[in-house]
Amino acid sequence: MTVDLAKHNPDDASDDETGAELELRPLGEVEQWTPTVQTLVVRARQAAARSMVTVVDTPAVARSLAVTRQAPKAGARLVVWSPRGARRAVGLARDWLFATHAAAHVARLADADHPEWAKASGQLDNTVARLATRRWVVGVAVALAVLAALAWWAPGAFAGLLGIAALAGVGALAYPVCRTPGQVAACAAVALGLGWVAWHFGPDLAGLVPRPPGWVWIVAGGLAVVGLGWLGRKEDQHLVELPQLAVDVNEAKRPTADMVIDALCRLGIKDLTPANLDKVREETRVIAPGVGRSRRGYHLQLELPWAVTAGSVMEKREGLAGALKRELGTVWPSQGPRHPGHLVLFLSDRPMSTAPQEPWPIAETRRVDIFESIPMFTDQEGRWITLKIAYKRILIGGESGSGKSFYVRQIGVACALDPRVRLLVFDGKANGDMDPLMPVAHGFYVGAQAEEMAEQLVALQRLEREMDRRARFLRTLPREENPENKVTSALVDRYPHLAPYEVIVDELQEYTQNEDKTMAKEFTRIFTRLSRLGRSAGIWLLIATQYPADGVVPVAMRSNFSTKFCLRVEGHQQVEVILGTGSYAAGLKSNLFTASEAGLSWHKGDGQDPAIVQSVRGLDGPACDELVEVARAMRATRGLLSGQAATDEVEDAEVVIDIVEDVEAAMRQRQRGKAQWAELVPWLRELRPGQYVDLVEDELSARIRAAGIEPRQVKVEGVNRNGVHLSDLRKRGGDDDA
């Protein structure tokens, strides 16, 4: 059914009339609408127009149409430019046959006493040796072309030239052998006969030379005009103007060496200007293999012109990115190892700070051996860079917001996943960045107030004494057990009291620049001594600061750090403090990192070439909490929770356990004046279950001896065995107190 709205006349309706009635008509009485031929034609035209717009808007079609429209003008330009191209072609041919340009270049170098003169002179000699062959080839080609032209258009001249050639050929052959008048007459007769034959039959021979059709000359003439016209155009002249098409900004085109050199000339660097482009291209050396494709971008190495350094290009990194039409985070110029003018350019497909990063292997395996190399950072190619944390003294510097705390926390998490490592955290900033490490920390100290600093100083002094005790203990071990005279993975497994310490100090300036000058001096002394002597004792420093300066990180301290990371800093002074003297001049310019490149740093050390690296992205507080929870469970299972992590009380979080004091306490509890090692081991396990769970008699004897106490024979129940006297322990304590 169809509803038909009846028309209503308002003049015939009363005020209370609701409107016209709805009349329902049968479907058969309603006319069905059908499209007319005219409507179909209009729709077809609209569809064709839309298709045409779609096709024309494609880059290939748009460029083709532009070239077609400008073809007449392009042809006229080629005709106008062809005379200049002909002159250039003659000049190029002359230079190829006579080496005029190379000779002039060598002469200029000789006048200037240039160091490259000898090399250029040798190259010129090699070129001159090949000139005779080139001239013979060109001469034969020209002679054949002249003969062919005469055969086509002047058969008589062709015959005459052929006869003369026959006479000359016979004469040249006969001259060396004809001596008598008779011989000369015979040779002359032969020459005249052959010459007459060549002249007489020359026109017939010319007719045998195939003559190309007329269209070949038209094509050849057109190609000559195109070639000479293209050769004769100026550097900034374009044959046609291509339309400006929409460009995908995320699409990185393959660079070329000429493209990079042209971009360098637009940076405003002295002697690198667009006006000197030809000279710059001539003096710039592209190191083989040129532009090379790597995993995530392109590499190019250049030797820049005289007196132009790679450092000047690095300072113009933002301008270089603009000249290359690439995102800033994808353009990475650096100084190569050859000399200051050796430029190494890496153009990545995507910015380093946003490029995909593979999952951190440690987060997947969740198990670490601190004495092995660990994948910690990624380079510009997205490859994992390993770091062996054991024996490393690590220095990290970067201004606020550069990502410094992420580096510190990441290394702390890696250490936590080796249950043997004891973490000592000194957080001078006290903003919560290091809090994720608290559940596994042997000692966790926060704050920069006077009483907090005093507590931390006491902890560091006790750590220093532990370092000295370890050094004495290591000297007592036999050479076959300790060949390297340092704490190793095997020694830690055998002697748990040698468990390595990773000492994390965040915001060093709060300690070495403390308002209490005496305390600041003591902090500086301890940190310097730990950085110098703690390596072999298994006590390793990780120091971070957002204010790298000589007063904060003295030379005597920072010279002991073998591994350094410099994130974004203010200027070259800060770079030199963190990475070392000469680093800024060598191209390690961390001050050029932008705010959007947080987490990027220059990494120097570990016997590797300096490189830009990035920390693990996404390792925020919750992610760290998850990994630390795994680390804590691992330690609890093996009974290796120690210090504050074992007691959850700050006052019990002793940095070191004095085994001499524990032995004395165990003997006093039992009112014993002497005891054997076999008795003391279970007593100590009862005193500190988590600390002495793996203690054995030999280890106890070695540690007591390392403390300066000689064992004695102790008789218990009629049996003499090695042990210790309480009086000897008291003497040691009295010496310390004195």
For residue 478, give the CATH number of its domain: 3.40.50.300
Tally of domains in the chain? 5
Q: What is the pTM of this model?
A: 0.55
Q: What confidence tier does 77 reach under pLDDT thresholds 50, 70, 90?
A: confident
Residue 643 belongs to a domain: no
In a domain, 242, yes or no: no
Assess if residue 381 is contained within a domain: no
In this structure, is residue 367 part of a structural domain? Answer: no
Write out the two tokens for 502: 């990773």
| Residue of 143, 147, 137 lying closest to 93 (CA atoms) | 137
* CA of residue 521 relative to chain centroid, distance: 40
Region 16-45: mean pLDDT is 50
The verdict on 34 and 89 lying in the same domain is no
Dihedrals φ, ψ of 36, to 5°?
A: -85, 170
Residues 196 and 104 in one domain: yes
225 occurs within a structural domain: no
| Confidence at residue 20, expressed as pLDDT on a 0 to 100 scale | 42
Domain membership flag for residue 405: yes
Asked if 434 and 576 sit in the same domain, the reply is: yes
Place 15 in a pLDDT band, splitting at 50, 70 and 90: very low
Tokens 């609209």 correspond to what residue?
Answer: 46
Same domain, 407 and 546: yes
Q: What is the pLDDT of residue 40?
A: 61
What value, to the nearest 5°, has the Cα angle with vertex 594 and ends 593 and 596? Answer: 125
Cis peptide leading into residue 181 (ω within 30°): no
Whether 60 and 128 map to the same domain: the answer is no
Say yes or no: 459 and 542 in one domain.
yes
Are 605 and 461 in a shared domain?
Answer: yes
**Are the CB atoms for 645 and 632 separated by under 8 Å?**
yes
Q: Please indicate, yes or no, whether residues 685 and 715 belong to a single structural domain of this protein.
A: yes
* Closest CA relative to residue 579, chosen from 598, 561, 600: 561
pLDDT above 70: residue 31: no
Portion of the chain with pLDDT greater than 70, in percent: 85
The residue range of the domain holding 93 is 72-208
Burial class (CB in 10 A: 0-12, 13-18, 19+), 613: buried
DSSP-assigned letter for residue 694:
T
Could you give the angle at the alpha carbon of 652 between the alpha carbons of 651 and 656, nearest 5°? Answer: 115
| pLDDT for the residue numbered 244 | 56
Residue 171 and residue 269 share a domain: no
| DSSP per-residue codes, 561-595 | --EEEE-S-SSHHHHHHHH-TTTTTTT--GGG--G
Question: Hey, what amino acid is at 135?
Answer: R
Phi/psi of residue 205, nearest 5 degrees? -65, -35
Name the residue with tokens 């301890």.
526
Task: Provide the CATH number for the domain around residue 323.
Answer: 3.30.980
The 10s digit of each residue's pLDDT in 228-265 is 888 887 766 677 776 655 544 444 577 888 888 888 88
Q: For position 59, what pLDDT does the model report?
A: 63
Whether the Cβ atoms of residue 363 and residue 630 lie closer than 8 Å to each other: no
Q: Which two tokens stand for residue 45?
A: 């035209």
CB atoms within 10 A of CB 123: 14
Q: Largest alpha-carbon pair distance within the chain?
A: 148
Q: What is the pLDDT of residue 606?
A: 67
Do 398 and 530 fall into the same domain?
A: yes
> What is the arithmetic mean of pLDDT over 253-282?
81
Query: Could you say which of 65, 93, 115 is where a domain stops?
Result: 65
pLDDT of 504 over the 90 cut: yes
The alpha carbon dihedral of 177, 181, 186, 191 has a sign of: positive
Task: Grade residue 49 by pLDDT with cuts at 50, 70 and 90.
Answer: low
Q: Are residues 103 and 36 in the same domain?
A: no
Boundary (domain end) residue, out of 635, 669, 702: 635
**Final residue before a domain boundary, out of 314, 348, 382:** 348
Question: Which residues are within 8 A (CB) of 526 and not within 5 positions of it... i.e. 6 or more apart?
Answer: 457, 460, 461, 463, 464
pLDDT in tens, 443-458: 999 888 888 899 999 9
pLDDT at 54 over 60: no
For residue range 614-660, what is the model confidence (pLDDT) as tens digits?
888 888 888 888 999 999 988 888 888 888 888 754 333 333 467 88
Give pLDDT, residue 71.
80
Q: Are residues 319 and 443 in the same domain?
A: no
Instruction: Report the mean per-residue pLDDT for the chain.
Output: 80
Is residue 335, in this structure, part of any structural domain at all?
Answer: yes
Average pLDDT over residues 107-119: 72
pLDDT in tens, 606-616: 667 788 888 88
Residue 507 lies in a domain: yes
* Tens-digit pLDDT profile for residues 321-377: 888 888 888 888 887 878 888 888 888 888 887 788 888 888 877 788 899 988 989
